[in-house]
A and B are shown apart, each in its own frame.
Chain A
Amino acid sequence: MDEELDSRKVNNSFLRDHNYATEADIISTVEFNSTGELLATGDKGGRVVVFQREQESKNQPHRRGEYNVYSTFQSHEPEFDYLKSLEIEEKINKIRWLPQQNAAYFLLSTNDKTVKLWKISERDKRPEGYNLKDEDGRVRDPSTITALRVPVLRPMDLMVEATPRRVFSNAHTYHINSISVNSDYETYMSTDDLRINLWNLEITNRSFNIVDIKPANMEELTEVITAAEFHPNHCNTFVYSSSKGSLRLCDMRAAALCDNHSKFFEEPEDPNNRSFFSEIISSISDVKFSHSGRYLMTRDYLTVKVWDLNMESKPLETYQVHDYLRSKMCSLYENDCIFDKFECVWNGTDSVLMTGSYNNFFRMFDRNTKRDVTLEASRENSKPRAILKPRKVCMGGKRRKDEISVDSLDFSKKILHTAWHPSENIIAVAATNNLYIFQDKVN
């Protein structure tokens, strides 16, 4: 698949001039809104940056809309939990957009403990001609007022402001790993390691616990929740994944507390491949419903799997992301890379899957043609408007010219977060502190 690089190493005001990345700039989440007009990124420093797509101009039809910075705001601040003497990180774990209902945009952003609803709105007019105060805002002396006038709205430079509208806090003992907006557009759920809570978007002082897998005795804890998502069409259905590689589909109509699942998806373990690391690499790091709602995609350490909602016994399709790492498990365990949580995304038509890997590589799998490609997101290898070259990793033996050997992979350059435009072939790839946006080549 040929892709054209859209020149986007986005250089925003908060990135310093130095070449090295400060840790606060590491992008921790990427998400398109439901129309694809806006792209939001959250970083480790608690900031959210929203990009907006340029309107396509009629004069230059071949120049597709590029993404420019629309709004930047500080969503979360670092906090201190005095009871446990521990810091609460301000890192944004997830951003989810609400569907647009008026001129303003709404998004939910969360760190480990608190979810916030932000309203992003434009202001391009301001009132002028007040009677009681002058243009600077100073109060006029009433004795100097001789005539009355009606204030009018005059255009001004576009200002985009972000205001926090709701703060949903104090509902999670453990770290929030997912949020998901329900298709009813009234509720959403927030998920931590052991519990899932259901919120009404309007009500911040109350939430309902719908899943609780905390054992009575914490010593018996062997499994945690790793991700959860609402079904895109059925507002009563959601799925959550676990660290043991299982998926549970739940129906909220069945009971108030959905500890009993409606469906349980798990692939039986292959006894030949069993090792001490089997459980760790089977832990699901991300789960996503397809746009159609018929399929589920899961990402574990080495593979991406597509499940049919009607078949619980095994996945429909399995794709190897970086199987060459299978022989490096011990080293990856030692340097903690084995615990990296990669995300996965569907394209708009549910025909292509995308996920990240190491060395700034990311992979795409075409479900129809069964072809896959490895691409690299790096400034050195891509010039603006250049076509991305497929990459290949060789496992040993003879290394061809353009290939890279497994041992030369840079494990500090990992692509954990990617996003796909809901209807077009535009992808956003977060590589540490850089955001890359790629588009389909225009003929």
Chain B
Amino acid sequence: MSACTLVSVSTVLGCHSCFRVDMFSKGTKRKFSDDGGEMSDESLGGANVSSSYNLQRQSLLDMSLIKLQLCHMLVEPNLCRSVLIANTVRQIQEEMTHDGSWQAVTEAFCNGSQSPSERLVATEVLCRSREQDAEPKLFSVISYEGCREEEVVADETLCSVSVSDAASNVCLSESVGHCWETGELRVVESDEETSEGSRLGPGDDDDDDEDDEDEDEVDEEEESSREDSKSMGQVFGTFEIKNGSSGPDSALEELFSDVDASYYDLDTMLTGIQSAPKMGPYDLLDSLAPSHGPPSLGSPSNCRSDLNELDHIMEIIVGS
């Protein structure tokens, strides 16, 4: 399979609606791997255009999911923006399902290990920790100063993304797809998660500790899928608590009533099941990357200890 290497996304993504036609006119350089002799431009063009489209679509999906996850800690996120991004995600997912590329992606992933040569260096987003079958984590960057990191992260991510082709594209959607298949296993765990997490009031640190421990033990892929659901749930969910009805009981009931055990439904997962376990910002620490510093593939253990340290510091500040 031919590989388009190191296509700089920032230039390719200049024209989403017309890249099918215009990509070559932009003159972006592509290098071919050494796997083959000459191929005619035309046939090569055809194959590459469609895989580029998938590539672009994939990047758009990743970008959208990042946007949903990176929430402003201090102020409520803009509901209109979140809804529009969520609709875009749904649209992409529908199209991918339609195309059959969703299936292809999940199948490809489930085929087990892929040869490293087919998978190029991926970005911070895609390739946080390279364990055996490790799921790439989607990380959320929370800055404690002012939550304007979002755009910086997206820039870095997208400018350095490099993929070989759609099938081997290690990405969030794959992890989601994987979860989709093994969803049943997680139903029980999700309930536990819910009951632990659903509390009113600001960052309950004891709960956070428990949550962290649970999630540390759990497979990383689950985190990323749960982040998806949490992200949507969190995005829409922060509004749920203040509902004007009287008493904490009815509010709690409302929280639980929105919980849906159908984790294996992809759509539900993307739209978020746990509507409002009150997810303090500290819960997202599990998937944190250091918010500053040069992008580097640090060892997982370093990241982990950093996160625990930050968690600890936040506990002190909040005052458990």
Contacts and interface: CB of A to CB of B under 8 A. Distances in A.
- The answer to whether A and B interact is yes
Interface of A: 81-89, 112, 173-175, 193-194, 217-224, 226, 243, 273, 275-277, 279-280, 283, 326-331, 333-336, 339
A222 B236 contact: no
Contacts of B18: 327
A326 B14 CA distance: 10
Given A173-B243, A218-B237, A276 B76 contact: no
Interface stretch (B80-88, B102-110, B210-218, B299-307): B80-88
Contact of B83 (A83, A87, A243, A336): A243
Nearest to B280: A85
A243 B82 CA distance: 11
Q: Which 7 A-B pairs have the closest CB atoms?
A: A85-B202, A275-B17, A330-B13, A219-B271, A330-B16, A218-B236, A193-B79
Interface string B223-236: 00000000010001
B88 A279 contact: yes
Interface in B64-113: 67, 74-76, 78-81, 83-84, 86-88, 91-92
Contacts of B291: none
Contacts, number: 123
Contacts of A175: 76, 78-79
B314 interface: no
A187 B150 CA distance: 41
Contacts of A226: 80
20 contacts: A83-B241, A83-B242, A85-B203, A85-B280, A86-B75, A86-B76, A89-B75, A174-B239, A175-B78, A218-B258, A243-B84, A276-B16, A277-B17, A329-B15, A331-B14, A333-B60, A334-B151, A334-B155, A336-B151, A339-B81
Contacts of B177: none
Contacts of A277: 16-17, 88
Contact of A193 (B56, B80, B243, B273): B80
Contacts of B155: 334
B197 to A, nearest CB: 14
Contacts of B242: 81, 83-84, 173
A236 to B, nearest CB: 27
A219 B232 contact: yes
Interface in B38-69: 56-57, 60, 63, 67
Contact of B275 (A88, A218, A279, A329): A218
Q: Which of B87, B150, B243, B280 has the most chain A CB atoms inside 10 A of its CB?
A: B87
Given A85-B202, A276-B16, A283 B80 contact: yes
A276 B88 CA distance: 6
B27 interface: no
Contacts of B76: 84, 86, 112, 175
A273 B258 CA distance: 37
A222 B94 CA distance: 15
A99 B308 CA distance: 58
Interface string B127-158: 00000000000000000000000110011001
B13 A283 contact: no
Given A86-B238, A87-B75, A330 B87 contact: no
Given A173-B243, A329-B16, A279 B78 contact: no
B227 to A, nearest CB: 16
A194 B243 CA distance: 13
Given A85-B202, A335-B151, A276 B236 contact: no
B244 interface: yes
B315 interface: no
Contacts of B87: 222, 279
Q: Which of A175, A220, A222, A334 has the most chain B CB atoms inside 10 A of its CB?
A: A334
Contacts of A85: 201-203, 280
